[in-house]
Amino acid sequence: MTSLLRTAATRTLVAGTCLGLLAGCSLFSKENKHPPTELKPVSATLSVKQAWKADVGKSGPYVMAPVAAGDAVYVSGKSGTVMAISAASGQTLWKAKTDRDLTSGPGSDGETTAVAGEKGAIYAFDKSGKQIWKKQVNGEVLSAPLVGNGLVVVRTTDTRVIGLDAGTGDRRWIYQRSQAALNLRAAMGMVYAGDGIVTGFPGGKLGVLAPGNGVLRWESTVSYPKGVSEIERLNDVTGVPAVLGRQVCATTFQGRIACLELANGQPQWGKDFSSPMGLAQDENSLFSSDETSAVFAFDRQNGNERWKNTDLRYRQLGAPATIGRSVVVGDYEGFVHFLSREDGTIVARMKTDGSAISAAPVIAGQTLVVQTRDGDVYGFVPN
Interval 363-375: pLDDT, tens: 999 999 999 999 9
226 or 119, higher pLDDT: 119
Per-residue pLDDT reduced to its tens digit, 215-260: 999 999 999 878 767 777 677 899 999 999 999 999 999 899 999 9
Q: List, for residues 129-159, the tens digit of each pLDDT value.
A: 999 999 999 999 999 999 999 999 999 998 8
The number of C-alpha atoms within 13 Å of 7 and in the hemisphere containing its C-beta is 0
From the list 337, 378, 338, 374, the residue with the least C-alpha distance to 354 is 374
Q: C-alpha dihedral over 227, 228, 234, 235, to 10 degrees?
A: 40
pLDDT number for residue 81: 98
CATH class of this structure's domain 48-382:
mainly beta
Which of the residue ranges 63-67, 104-108, 184-188 would you say has the lowest mean pLDDT?
A: 184-188
Give the pLDDT band of residue 184 (cuts 50, 70, 90).
Answer: low
pLDDT digits (tens, 9 = 90+) for 6-65: 323 333 343 333 433 333 333 433 455 789 999 999 999 999 999 999 999 999 999 999
Q: Give the Cα separation of 37 and 298 in Å (integer).
A: 23
Instruction: Determine what percent of the chain is predicted with pLDDT higher than 70.
Output: 89
- Pairing relationship of beta strands 335-340 and 346-351 according to DSSP bridges: antiparallel
**What is the per-residue pLDDT for 234?**
73
d(CA 258, CA 251): 7
Whether the per-residue pLDDT at 3 is higher than 80: the answer is no
Domain ranges of the chain: 48-382
Q: What is the pLDDT of residues 335-354, one digit of tens each?
A: 999 999 999 999 999 999 99
183 pLDDT tier (thresholds 50, 70, 90):
low
How far apart, in whole angstroms, are the C-alpha atoms of residue 360 and residue 367?
14
pTM above 0.75, yes or no: yes
pLDDT of residue 340: 98
Beta strands in 262-341 (DSSP E): 267-273, 279-281, 285-289, 295-299, 305-309, 321-323, 326-330, 335-340
Q: Taking a C-beta distance cutoff of 8 angstroms, is the pair 290, 249 a contact?
A: no
